Structures are given as C-alpha cells and as structure tokens.
Structure 1
Amino acid sequence: MTDPDIRAALLDAAAAHVPFDGWSAASFDAAARDAGVAPGVARALFPRGAVDMALAWHAAGDAKMVARLEETDLSAMRFRDRIATAVRFRLEATPDREMVRRGVALFALPQHVADGTRAIWNTCDLIWTALGDSSDDINWYTKRATLSGVYSSTVLYWLGDDSTDHRATWGFLDRRIDDVMQFEKLKARARDNKLLSTVLAGPLAVLGRVRAPKKGARDDLPGHWRDQT
C-alpha cells in the first residue's frame, strides 16, 4: 500500500477505539494492530503518535468539506450564507461527534494548544480559499481569525446539541455570522467617518503594509515529510 492508503487504514481503524480511549497511545497502538500496520511504519507516518493521527483525521474532514464545496453551486447564495454552508459542510464531514469531543480534550492540553489552533486556522483558510477569497493584505488575517472564532464556538455548541437534525446548531451558527456582519458594518462606518479616519491614519497605514503569506512553501527544508509516490 502507498503511504496515503496506510494513513487511511490507520484512521479507519482508530474510529473503533478513539471514542472509548481518546486520542491516546492505547488508541494509536490498537489502530496499528487492527490495520495490520507495523508499529515502526505507523510511527514513521505519525511521528508523535495519536496527536499526529488526530491532526490527520481533522485534515481528512477538511478534504471532504472542500470536495463537497467544489460540487455545490453556491452562486445564488448571499456571501454570509456561503460561509454558513461551508461551516455546516465541515461539521457534517465528521462521522462521529465523540471523536471530535476527544479531539477538543486533546488540543485543550497546554502542550497541544498550538496544534489545535493551527488545525482550526487551516480549516478556515480552506473555507475562504474555496469561496474565492483573493485578499492579500491584513484582511487575509482578520477574515480567518474571525471565522476561526465562529467555527470554534459552533463546534462546541454542536457537541452538546441534541436537537433534530442539529437545527439549534445551524441557528447558533447563523447568529454568530450575523454578529460578524454587524461588526463589519461598524468597521465600514468607522472608515467613512472623517474624524475617526484621521485619528486612525497612523495605525491604518502600518496595517496597510501587512501582506498575506506567500503561497507555495518550500519542501526542501529539514523535517519536511515528502511522499515519494
């Protein structure tokens, strides 16, 4: 099997153990055993064990969301509804809420907070990119930071939602996006206000120099895993 095949087999096998043992060494070892993958190979693919496996599982959900967005015609929707749809697609790409709950617990640990934050940021970056965002200034960052807050709070609400078809979650999501839209309107009014625009001229000039990161990170640096297939 190729590396992607082995990763997929390990993630599939983990689904039987994570809901009970969390994203732990026990789940990692059991997944490798059930998938028939040698421990050394499993560690080569997931050097930090269950942590890297959990991140790979999250990334697989991101991929499902992007694929569904690419297959869906969103042109007739308002932009705020496109964002809501993307977040909903991401949650619906998750087959087991208990695995998400276990992931939230894992990435709440101090040593893994940075990994969890990066995973959420990447999800939101994929959403904005899929929706055609072309910003290359400070807005690139603020869009993803704002959506990260909306996404994170919606996930936590969704984990405790027992309403039919998660209707309460979708209502919560709509309200959070409405809050963001109100904030964007306030920002626009501030820019149009002559007094405020004069007071903020200095800070805005500095922020105006901020640029989005360049695409295409180098893959020839130490520590980079590159598939040979």
Structure 2
Amino acid sequence: MTDDTRDKLIDAALMHVPFDGWTETSFRAAIEDSEVDPTVAKALFPRGAVDLALAFHKRGDEAMIAKLKEADLSGMRFRDKVAFAVRTRIKAAEDREAVRRGTTLFSLPPYAPDGAKAIWGTADAIWTTLGDTSDDVNWYTKRATLSGVYSSTVLYWLGDDSIDSQATWDFLDRRIDDVMKIEDAKARINKNPVLSRLMAVPNRLGAAIKPPRKRDDLPGQMRSDQV
C-alpha cells in the first residue's frame, strides 16, 4: 500500500463516514471522490470499508509515534509518559465521529477480532516507542493492561463534552493510578520473603514466556546478516 493512495482514500472517506459509517457506501464514495482506480482501491483494501477503517486507526498510531519521538519526555515519571502517550493517540484520532463509527463497526461479532487487534497494536506501539524492554510475560501483561486503559478512555472520550476533554484526561489519570496500584502491590509481594517464595514458581514460568519474534526467514525478507 502506498501511503499517498491510502491517505487519499481515508481523507475522502472521512467526508462520508459521519453519515454512512464505515460501510461499502462510504468506500465507494471515497473511491469516486479521490479518483483512485477502483481496482487499485480494492487491491489495497480487499474488505473495503473494514480495511479502510483499520487503515484510519493505523494512521492514528503512526501520527502518535511521530509526536512521541518529537516530544521531550525526559523529565516525566513513567506513568506520566504513558498518560501523555494515550492522550497523544486520542488527539491524533482527527475525527471523533469517525472513531465512534469505527467503535460501532468493531463491536460487531465478525469484526471484533480486528478491533481487538487494532487496540493491541496501539498499546504495543505506545510501549515500544516509550522504550519497553520486557522479554517475558510482562510484555503481554503490559499491553493487555494498556489496551484496557486505552479502550475505556476512548469510550469515555466519545461521550465527553467537557472543555478541552478535561474530564477524559482526569478519567485517564484515574485508570493509570489503578494500574500503578497493581504494580505497587506486585512490588510489595516481591519484597516480602514469604510471599516471594510462594511466587517463585509462577515467576519462573512467567520468565519463560517470551514475546513474539519477527521472523526474517520468510520469502521476500532479508536476514539481518544480509543487511
């Protein structure tokens, strides 16, 4: 997919999504308005509006990553960095109604796995950009927890009419504080000699669980020793 063509179709669709949702009607209108060849559009988005909605979400992730890399986060506590990243991602959504329509689309059973994968991808993008080096079960728990925080904050934001979405950011801070309480509890357990011994086996099992590795032996990919 070329970024220019992708963006042309997304931008054209955003004119119709508030009225028709992420539907085939919006997809056809986007093709017509953008003057992209229908065959090319179908090749880029085989499932039509569903894939276009996912591309819209991914573009938001990309915008967030760019802004995080530009920002000076050196003076922030880590919990504040996470909160800043979630706020940045939500602000990168561009169009609240398009997000609302996407939430409706991905709540449907056939597309719920796509929606869950998109949210997981956002959480992964945040942790990766912030420099997460987890190499065990924590890689999964961090992303699962942040997926819950992000998705609940987005739902709150969709109904928020406060000035500058301040109520949403307060809600986000409370959710992150809840997560930090869990992390503090885990730290206390590890410092307690008796509890740490009880957790020794689960901790060893958790350490044996590794995050997915990107394969470099697939057709069309160069191995690291070939670069």
Q: Which interval holds the TM-score relative to the shorter structure?
A: over 0.9
Q: Distance in 2 between matches of 1:21 and 1:100?
A: 13
Q: Deviations over 1:60-114 (max 9, x none)?
A: 0111101111111010111111101000000111111000000000110111111
Q: Could you tell me which amino acid in structure 2 is paired with residue 118 of structure 1?
A: K
1:220 counterpart residue number: 219
**Aligned positions of 1:1-229 closer than 5 A:** 3-215=2-214, 220=219
Q: Deviations over 1:167-193 (max 9, x none)?
A: 000000000000000010011112222
Q: Distance in 1 between matches of 2:53 and 2:150?
A: 18
Q: Could you tell me which amino acid in structure 1 is paired with residue 50 of structure 2?
A: V
Shift of 1:195: 2.7
TM-score (norm 2): 0.93
Q: Distance in 2 between matches of 1:65 and 1:159?
A: 19
Q: Helix, strand or coil for the counterpart of 1:208? A: helix
Q: Distance in 2 between matches of 1:108 and 1:220?
A: 35
Q: Could you tell me which amino acid in structure 2 is paired with residue 182 of structure 1?
A: K
Runs of 4+ in 1 over 4 A off after TM superposition: 216-219
Q: Distance in 1 between matches of 2:216 and 2:5?
A: 25
Q: Could you tell me which amino acid in structure 1 is paired with residue 169 of structure 2?
A: W
TM-score (norm 1): 0.92
Q: How many residues align?
A: 220
Shift of 1:216: 5.2
Q: CA 1:84 to 1:216, structure 2 compared with 1: closer, same or farther past 3 Å? A: farther
Shift of 1:200: 2.8
Q: Distance in 1 between matches of 2:144 and 2:216?
A: 21
Q: CA 1:216 to 1:106, structure 2 compared with 1: closer, same or farther past 3 Å? A: same
Q: Could you tell me which amino acid in structure 2 is paired with residue 113 of structure 1?
A: A
Q: Distance in 1 between matches of 2:129 and 2:95?
A: 24
Identity of aligned residues (%): 60
Q: CA 1:117 to 1:68, structure 2 compared with 1: closer, same or farther past 3 Å? A: same
Q: CA 1:162 to 1:218, structure 2 compared with 1: closer, same or farther past 3 Å? A: farther
Q: Could you tell me which amino acid in structure 1 is paired with residue 33 of structure 2?
A: D
Q: Helix, strand or coil for the counterpart of 2:122? A: helix
Shift of 1:198: 2.7
Unaligned runs of 5+ in 2: 221-227
Q: Could you tell me which amino acid in structure 1 is paired with residue 46 of structure 2?
A: P
Q: Could you tell me which amino acid in structure 1 is paired with residue 18 of structure 2?
A: P
Q: Distance in 1 between matches of 2:186 and 2:98?
A: 38
